[in-house]
Amino acid sequence: MFPKGGHLIVVSNRLPVTINKDAAGEYHFKMSSGGLVSALSGFKRALNFTWIGWPGFFIPLKDRPLVDKRLMEEYSCQAVYLDDDVADRHYNGFSNSILWPLFHYHPGEMNFDEENWLAYRQANLRFAEVVRKQMTPGAMVWVQDYHLMLLPMLLRGLLDGKDAGGETTQRELANIIEGVEGDDSMSASPPETIPGVKIGFFLHTPFPSSEIYRILPVRREILLGILYCDLIGFHTYDYARHFLSSCTRILGLPTMPNGVEFEGRLAHVGTFPIGIEPNSFIENLQREPVKTRIRQFESRFSGVKVIVGVDRLDYIKGWIGKVVLVQLAVPSRQDVEEYQNLRSTVNELVGRINGRFGTVEFMPIHFMHKSLAFDELCALYAVSDVCLVSSTRDGMNLVSYEYIACQQARQGVMILSEFAGAAQELERVADAIHEAVTMEAPTRAENHRKLFKYVNKYSAAFWGSSFIKEMGRIELGEGDSEQA
């Protein structure tokens, strides 16, 4: 799958390891959960790679050698350390207050700020320096998601030098680096060429229509940032198509269904729908503690139909005005104002509904604002008759896959609605809930059989391997193949 001797480097904003320091100054490491991290971890079990990312909080200089050693030896991870202010502005400020709302069609929630844009460039440059040190001849670097959209361009700059590429490259690189204080890595020693390196990028959110995308003040820079890739991947064909039309309309570049012509080469574009690691759920359901928990839930909810909803607490998840019985809302991005406002609104709404319809024996909404342990989550999925996913926009919702993986015994019904949060759709959601809870067993069994087959086949490992295989097939540019 790889060029001879090459190795795979995956770069994501967050590392898959949560690091804590206790009162005695002792560090503790634990694998984290979450959509992107679980999918990549599933893929990592199929194909080992070096994983580069931000550790999630500030680690003092003196502690870094120890943290680095444990991360590399136990998890094959490499940390990118960022100052608190840069990390905050990069993650909360630019990534989650500008790109995230815009890409999910919420331009009203978008707050553009020059300081945050500077921090985004600083953080991407810092990532580039760390990734550069891990690169070996023939390596494949696979960059993940909207936090790192300038990274492919910066890596090419570090590989080929400021003189590489045409005029656009030189000008854009200079613009990106300008004003990023303390980062002289691009101009100091001439970059050492590493032959045969391929760069890929994958976006885990939607890519919006060009009419929405063009609202972004730095729309050119962000597009150019990823055009230096050999392969750019999206979850759906529509997102890929939106990206291609933005390249034509904003940059005036010639595009084809499979890519964009840019600086004498083709940046390939493809669709690779992500999946989960179904076996981790299926196997976990066979363990005694989970079986016990399922029996407890069944007796607790005996005689009522259970509808489960599992979402990060996020405004894209379509909360307002819907009723679910067991709703898990996983805390997310709690430093961003929009997320804080949403939390108050949801708390108030749940209180109002339970106050109005609840009795001493019966509570219509069981609402939890926390993460659940994996066993508890599996048991909850397994006992639910219906799973309701009501996002207004979602890159690729993996809760739906997890629910199907846990429903072999009950063959519950999945309600997956693209725009269910939009006001005009609410009636249809109510109809869908009614249809789901009254559906006959043979129809449920047939539906579940088809979905289960799909979830098993299109797993996280399948997704990752398809992307890497496709990168392997791409011929490198002339200069690269001569050196390789």
Give the residue with the Cβ less far from ligand G6P, 357 or 374.
374
Shortest distance (Å) from residue 458 CB to ligand G6P: 17
CA distance linking residue 9 with residue 51, whole number of Å: 6
Q: Which is nearer to ligand G6P, 145 or 385 (CB)?
A: 145
> What is each CA distance from 463 to 200, 207, 270, 449, in whole angstroms?
14, 18, 12, 21
As measured in angstroms, the least distance from the Cβ of 370 to ligand G6P is: 14
List contacts with ligand G6P (CB under 6 A): 14, 34-36, 145, 204-205, 332-333, 395
Residue closer to ligand G6P, measured from CB, 96 or 411: 96
Residue 273 beta carbon to ligand G6P: minimum distance, rounded to whole angstroms: 13
Helix (H) or strand (E) run with residue 65 in it? helix 64-75
Tokens of 385: 């008759």
**What token pair was written down for 215?**
């609202």
Q: How far apart are CA 147 and CA 52, in angstroms?
A: 13
Say if residues 246 and 282 touch (Cβ distance below 8 Å).
no
- Smallest distance from ligand G6P to CB 260, Å: 22
Give the shortest CB-396-to-ligand G6P separation in angstroms. Answer: 8
Burial class from Cβ neighbours inside 10 Å (0-12, 13-18, 19+) for residue 68 reads middle
Apex CA 36: angle with CA 33 and CA 42, to 5°?
Answer: 75
H or E segment to which residue 252 belongs: none
CA separation for the pair 112, 117 (Å, rounded): 8
Q: Which is nearer to ligand G6P, 36 or 389 (CB)?
A: 36
Phi-psi region of 243 (alpha: psi -120 to 50; beta: other; left: phi over 0): alpha
Q: Which CB, 193 or 236, lies closer to ligand G6P? A: 236
CB nearer to ligand G6P: give 55 or 259. 55
Least separation, in Å, of the C-beta of 88 and ligand G6P? Answer: 13
Q: Which of residues 249 and 312 has its CB atom nearest to ligand G6P in the complex?
A: 312
Dig out the tokens for 108 from the structure. Answer: 């009203």
CA-angle at 339, arms to 338 and 345, nearest 5°: 90
Query: Is 259 or 395 the residue whose CB approaches ligand G6P more closely?
Result: 395
What minimum distance in Å lies between the beta carbon of 390 and ligand G6P? 16
* DSSP character string of 137-192: TT-EEEEESGGGTTHHHHHHHHHH-TTSS-HHHHHHHHHHHTT-TT--TTTSSPPP
Minimum distance from residue 420 beta carbon to ligand G6P (Å): 17
